[in-house]
Structure 1
Amino acid sequence: METENPRREAVVGTAGCVTAFAGALAGIVLWAPYGKDGLLDGFEGAANWDVVWYGLPLMVLGGITTALTVFTAVRGRWLRALGLAGAVAGLAAIGYAVDALAGPPRPECYDPC
């Protein structure tokens, strides 16, 4: 199958890859405070590894999917953008279900008086 404009397809493909990479970086940046709280400030010195095993992949995939949703919507591919938006909603539902971004439990402080 011959393409009509291979240079344009290459530019669009490269822009899509750069968009996905930027989304992955955004997901990591948004995950970092939760990761720090889960690994460094664990209750009684215990780390919460669920933050890494569940939270990091969900945030990276969510960032990539969100960026590609915006990219496809800007290009006018509404049906694909709607499908990707559904995938973002699914990832968010999974994240809430497994409580992936919950930091370590905070000890409750009461007034001693």
Structure 2
Amino acid sequence: MLVARLLELDAAGALTTAHVRAGAQVGGVNVRTVWRWLDAARTEGRMERRPRARLELSDQMWEVLAQAGGNVVALHRHLKAAGGEVPSGVVAPGGAPGPSGRQGPAGPRGGAAGAG
């Protein structure tokens, strides 16, 4: 709704930074975020969030996960050993970077607050 209204103002030649600031304040986001939303609406024709990739577990994956006591690393190993496709949402053994590309610090609690 916010982006649509700002685009209307833009089409009329009346969009100002003050409008974007007010929209950001009402939306509880940074001004740069609103500008990115406007850019996405203009270039991609999209006014809603980009859909997030989701990991869908098959019945077999749930079974393996349950047998492993919820250990996702064991699920990853099983999928690799079976030669099947390993979804990007499943973590790799050995603390390899996750979907964000970042790797947490080593240690007994990883990147948990207060670790160390």
Task: Answer whether TM exceeds 0.5 for this pair.
Answer: no
Query: TM class, shorter-chain normalised?
Result: under 0.3
Greater percentage in helix: 1
**TM-score when scaled to structure 2?**
0.27
Which one has a bigger Cα radius of gyration?
Answer: 2
Structure with greater contact order relative to length (CA < 8 Å, sep ≥ 6):
1
